[in-house]
Amino acid sequence: MADAEVAERLVAPPAAPVAAAGRAGTLAGELQAEATHALAQAGLQPAVTRPRRKINWLIVTGGVILALVLGLTLAAPMLAPYHPAEQRARERLQGPSRAHPMGTDRLGRDIYSRVLYGGQTSLSASSIALGVTLTIGVALGLLAGYAGGWVDGAIMRLVDVLLAFPSFILALIVAGLYGPGLLKVVLAATAVWWVSYARVTRSLVLQAKQEGYVQAARAAGARPLSIAVREVLPQILGPIVVLATLNLGRLILTLSGLSFLGMGAQPPTAEWGLMLSEGKAYFMEFQHMMVFPGLMIFVTVLGLTLLGEGLRDVLDPNGAAGRA
């Protein structure tokens, strides 16, 4: 939602200021030349690309959180004491207890079980959306960056126009017009979200095209497609993985937000955003209905964010994923 919105635009500042701001002149080059020089002489990499042997705590923490969430979700059939749709009229609107660790909702369904199963819905929907987005975005970005000319122009104009829409609103309206449903929401999000991958991929391709080894491959007569796949793709993989990890978190927020509004997953599906929406009506008296699904969304996105930032340190030291 807001983050998605902002982050998407983050990758689209006007071109001129970037060129101006990107002007050389940070101290690293000039000031520490001597220390860096000395390091280089000692047969070591200069400070900027020095491999870190330190444990990356961001990756560890994020990974552990995600492993827990994923484990709970996948093991839902074993861990859940009840079926997610099982209604027990006598046990409606109960607070957390031994029988219902997270309480029950207005239909007497066990929230703990629904939270576990809800993860399956939320995570798989977001992952599918990410997969489609990624494929379209990277493919179009590669095409635009590599082909150049009018192909590039056409794709980038489309990107510009899509950026002129507030993406969350667009997804909302598509879902509204074509009827609610998780699949439709996923498609709507996909239609807008590929843009950031296309931009990042394109700029990385443009950068890679300048590299000596790509120029060499061209001079050696390699076919454009084979260069794109064999030389360029591996180079841009790191930033893309970072962006995808961070975006998966934002997609979970967006999709659960749309479900919260009643546009995404429909009852009686167990889905975190929808559960929150159902809990909203009762939050004055029964907070447990909204606390636990929200907590799950928060923890999952936190894990993905930590992991993404940790991966950025390792895979994308130049920050291309956030800059492009």
Please give the full DSSP string across 296-312, using - where no structure is assigned.
Answer: HHHHHHHHHHHHHHHHH
32 binds another protein (CB under 8 A): yes
Cβ at position 204, least distance to another protein in Å: 19
267 binds another protein (CB under 8 A): no
Site string for another protein, 268-297 (x = CB under 8 A): -----x--x--xx--xx--x--xx--xx-x
Query: What radius of gyration do the chain's Cα atoms show?
Result: 23
Binding-site residue total for another protein (CB under 8 A)? 80
Question: Quick check: helix, strand or coil at residue 291?
Answer: helix
Please give the full DSSP string across 226-261, using - where no structure is assigned.
Answer: HHIIIIIHHHHHHHHHHHHHHHHHHHHHHHHHHHHT
Site for another protein in 173-232 (CB under 8 A): 173-179
Residue 159 or 228 with smaller CB distance to another protein: 159
Cβ at position 88, least distance to another protein in Å: 25
157 binds another protein (CB under 8 A): yes
DSSP 8-state assignment for residue 292: H
Q: For residues 161 and 247, is the Cβ–Cβ distance under 8 A?
A: no
Site for another protein in 84-123 (CB under 8 A): none
CA 177 distance to own-chain centroid:
26
21 binds another protein (CB under 8 A): yes
Cβ at position 255, least distance to another protein in Å: 11
50 binds another protein (CB under 8 A): yes
75 binds another protein (CB under 8 A): no
**Planar angle of CA 23, 26, 31, nearest 5 degrees:** 140
7 binds another protein (CB under 8 A): yes
